[in-house]
Structure 1
Amino acid sequence: MFDVLVYLYENYWRPDACPDHDQLTRKLSAVGFESDEIQEALSWLDGLAATADSTQSAPQSPQSLRVYLPRELDLLGDESVGFISFLESAGVLPPPMRERVIDRATAVGSPLTLDDLKIIVLMVFWSQGEEPDALILDELFVAPEDRLIH
Structure 2
Amino acid sequence: MAAGVAVASTRWRGLDHAITVTSYTWVSREPPMLLVCVHEDARFLDAVEGAGTWGLSLLPAGARATAGWLATPGRPAVGQLDRVPHRTGAVTGAPLLDGALESFECRTTAVHPAGDHAVVVGLVVGIGRSTASTGSAGAEEPLVRFRRSYHALA
TM over 0.5: no
Higher helix share: 1
Q: TM-score band (shorter)? A: under 0.3
> Which one has a bigger Cα radius of gyration?
1
Higher strand share: 2
